[in-house]
Amino acid sequence: MKKLVLFVMFIPMLAFSQVRESSLVVRGGSAADAIKKDGTKTQSVTVAPFAEKVGVQVKATQLVRVDSVVVTDTTATTLVIASGSNVNNYYTGYTITILEGDSIGVTMPILNYVGATRTITVADATGIGEDTKISITTPINTKNYLEKSYDNVTWFMVDSVAINTTLPTKSDKIDVKDVYAPFVRLRTLGVTNAQDVTTKVMFIIKK
């Protein structure tokens, strides 16, 4: 009697990764609706096929409010700029960056701004001379939420990452998390009306 030998071949299921990029521009609004795409719609990314794991890389770039302006007068703590807004405190909370001279690259927050005289107050202006060029930028201060949904209506937070910096560009990430949901999105809060932050989002999707 012959024996029948049965060979069973096990074929492992291959995991795959998919990367999607999406850019959004946030232009003000309250904390509840600060995340906007082109100023109108909530930024969300639909995942297909059904995603088991999702990670996010976030790269935020702030708008340079004044690309280059010349300092015309200084004291130990103040700078007078050649041109700028005539509204009091318009630049308060922003950041100046020195563009030339011995202190090139140094950044410092603006503590006060007087529009009538275009005078900026900083903690220490002793290293900034007359005719020095500076830029004025808004700081990035956002909280970014990775969320999932089963119906594209009700959303649940998976994880979050804060980006707080005075640098023109800052990157951070949310490590790959279990989601097991057909929809994911990144929602950003904390952008004020003074900011214009472009956020580039890279979704890492695994199944």
What is the phi-psi region of residue 132: left when phi exceeds 0, alpha when psi lies from -120 to 50, beta otherwise? beta
Do 81 and 104 belong to one domain? yes
Contact call for residues 143 and 186 (beta carbons, < 8 A)? no
Distance CA 13, CA 166 (A): 46
| Domain-located, residue 10 | no
Which two structure tokens, joined as six digits, stand for 142? 């956002």
Q: 190 falls in which pLDDT band (50, 70, 90)?
A: low
Domain boundary among 137, 159, 184: 137
| Domain-located, residue 154 | yes
Do 21 and 51 belong to one domain? yes
According to the model, what pLDDT value does residue 12 have?
39
Q: Report the predicted TM-score, pTM, of the whole model to 2 decimal places.
A: 0.61
| Domain-located, residue 172 | yes
| Domain-located, residue 98 | yes
Domain boundary among 120, 137, 154: 137
Do 71 and 128 belong to one domain? yes
Mean pLDDT of 196-206: 75
**pLDDT tens, residue by residue, 7-31:** 334 333 334 455 555 544 443 333 3
Do 114 and 148 belong to one domain? no
According to the model, what pLDDT value does residue 78 have?
95
What is the phi-psi region of residue 151: left when phi exceeds 0, alpha when psi lies from -120 to 50, beta otherwise? alpha
Q: 191 falls in which pLDDT band (50, 70, 90)?
A: low
Do 51 and 78 belong to one domain? no
According to the model, what pLDDT value does residue 196 have?
65
Number of domains in the chain: 2
Residue-range definition of the domain harbouring residue 169: 17-62+139-206
**178 HSE (CA, 13 A, CB side):** 0
According to the model, what pLDDT value does residue 45 have?
54
What count of other Cβ atoms lies within 10 Å of the Cβ of residue 68?
11
Do 174 and 85 belong to one domain? no
According to the model, what pLDDT value does residue 11 have?
34
Q: What percentage of the chain exceeds 90 in pLDDT?
A: 22
- The amino acid occupying position 24 is L
- CA 3 to the chain's CA centroid: 68
Is the pLDDT assigned to residue 72 strictly greater than 70? yes
Do 58 and 144 belong to one domain? yes
Domain boundary among 137, 152, 187: 137
